[in-house]
């Protein structure tokens, strides 16, 4: 059985939704970031990065959201979570998820984890101040050029959808009203109606 490590409110939600969509059998293991459990030696043996998500499989351990999402889609092809028979289509999904990982999530992290890039209190404050602008610009691009509607890639639901939903849930905390982005706003509404999303969100608080 798969073993999935997560922390409530983190980007791990995207992978959990995908596991639920796929009907995968997995054990969910919650880490308490407030208690710094992600830095304990036993977890660092699983993920030396000290972050979530992490997925233990029978072939080894996977980390990083795009990798786990792709693994789930390819391991459970009947769930149709990606266009697996279309190399270009699959690459488009990967490109979208890579943008969320490398750019959107990083822009968001400047609000509370600026210490990764600077020590100067003035620099930290400036990074935090600019988050509504930098994150907002990311979502403006997604709204204008990337999300096809009703799902990220158009009519077909893919592993790009739980990832966008997960990160878009952070918009309010970043000082941004999601109503600025009608497509993304509608996407969030659609996602909240899916049983896999409801189950995953319940799992965050259970």
Q: Choose among 47, 78, 35, 69: nearest CA to 164.
A: 69
Q: CB-based contacts of 146: which residues, under 8 Å, 6+ apart?
A: 96, 99, 152
Q: Report whether the peptide linkage leading into residue 36 is cis, meaning its omega lies within 30 degrees of zero.
A: no
Select the CATH number that applies to the domain covering 2-80+198-205 from these four: 3.90.226.10, 3.40.50.720, 2.60.120.10, 3.40.30.10: 3.40.30.10
Q: Which residues pair with 60 in a beta bridge?
A: 57
Could you tell me which CATH class the domain 87-194 is placed in? mainly alpha
List the pLDDT tens digit at each of the 206 positions of the chain: 999 999 999 999 999 999 999 999 999 999 998 898 899 999 999 999 999 999 999 999 999 999 999 999 999 999 999 999 999 999 999 999 999 999 999 999 999 998 899 999 999 999 999 999 999 999 999 999 999 989 999 999 999 999 999 999 999 999 999 999 999 999 999 999 999 999 999 988 76
Whole-model pTM: value is: 0.96
């Amino acid at each position: 059985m798969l073993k999935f490590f997560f922390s409530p409110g983190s980007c791990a939600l995207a992978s959990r939704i995908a596991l639920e969509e796929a009907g995968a059998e997995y054990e969910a293991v919650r880490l308490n970031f407030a208690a710094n459990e992600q830095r304990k030696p036993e977890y660092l043996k699983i993920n030396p990065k000290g972050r979530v998500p992490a997925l233990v499989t029978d072939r080894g351990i996977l980390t990083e959201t795009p990798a786990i999402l792709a693994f789930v889609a390819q391991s459970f092809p009947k769930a149709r979570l990606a266009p697996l028979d279309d190399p270009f289509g699959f690459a488009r999904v990967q490109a979208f998820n890579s943008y969320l990982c490398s750019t959107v999530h990083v822009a968001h992290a400047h609000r509370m984890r600026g210490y990764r890039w600077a020590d100067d209190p003035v620099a930290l404050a400036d990074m935090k101040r600019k988050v509504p602008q930098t994150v907002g610009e990311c979502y403006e691009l997604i709204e204008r050029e990337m999300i096809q509607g009703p799902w990220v890639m158009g009519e077909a639901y893919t592993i790009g959808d739980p990832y966008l939903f997960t990160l878009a849930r952070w918009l309010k905390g970043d000082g941004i009203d999601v109503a600025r982005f009608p497509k993304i706003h509608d996407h969030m509404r659609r996602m909240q109606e899916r049983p896999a999303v409801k189950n995953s969100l319940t799992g965050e608080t259970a």
